[in-house]
Each structure stands twice: as C-alpha cells, then as structure tokens.
Amino acid sequence: TVAAQIKKGGQKIIMKPKIAVQNIVASSDLESEINLNAIAVTLGLDRVEYEPEQFPGLVCRIQDPRVVVLLFGSGKLVCTGARKPSDVEVAVKKITKELQGAGLLR
C-alpha cells in the first residue's frame, strides 16, 4: 500500500487518523429563477455581497447557523461553511422563507 511505502521511507504514519468535519458544502435548487438585484437591495448590503461583474452569484451570510449561501439567478444555491447536515437544512429553509416573505420567490 501507499502507507506501507511511506513508512518504509522513514515517515511516521497514523493508521487510524481522527476525522473531524470542518466544512460541509451542499447545493440546492429553489426551482424558480430569482432576481439577484432585488434580493441584494431587500436583504441589505450588511448581509450580502453582489458584484455581477466579478462573480455571477450573490453571497449571503447567515448568522445562525453560521454559513454562507451563494444564490444564482437560475434559482440554484450553494451552502458552505456548515458543520453538520442539519445546518444546511436550517439555512436553506431560512433563506427560502425570507425570500418568499419578501415576495422574491414563489
């Protein structure tokens, strides 16, 4: 194995390393196109970054759970920074509810 070859070369190998989840990245689809300009104005510049000349997505920071959601005009989104799967679910539900409440998502 590769580990055996590395050991043979004099390097110490931990055969059962501790594994800790540091960052979960997940994608979802809101199943509807969204207006990123309207979302940027509605959610406020303190929570979002949107520079379409630099990046086609809107960056939205959520405090609880502490994650970043990238929203795209197609309605697709990427959630990053979650530590557990339930953080992703909560974040997607939160942003969906907020967009629906503001009339920005059907």
Q: What is the pLDDT of residues 31-68, one digit of tens each?
A: 999 999 999 999 998 999 999 999 999 999 999 999 99
pTM of the complete model: 0.83
Query: What is the enclosing helix (H) or strand (E) of 29?
Result: strand 24-29
- Domains of the chain by range and CATH? 19-101 (3.30.310.10)
Closest listed residue to residue 64, CA positions, set 39, 38, 90: 90
DSSP state of 57: S
pLDDT in tens, 81-90: 999 999 999 9
Report percent pLDDT > 90 for the chain.
79
Alpha carbons 42 and 23: distance in angstroms, whole number: 28
- What separation in angstroms does the CA of 37 have from each of 3, 23, 55? 51, 28, 13
CA dihedral sign, ordered 51, 56, 62, 68: negative
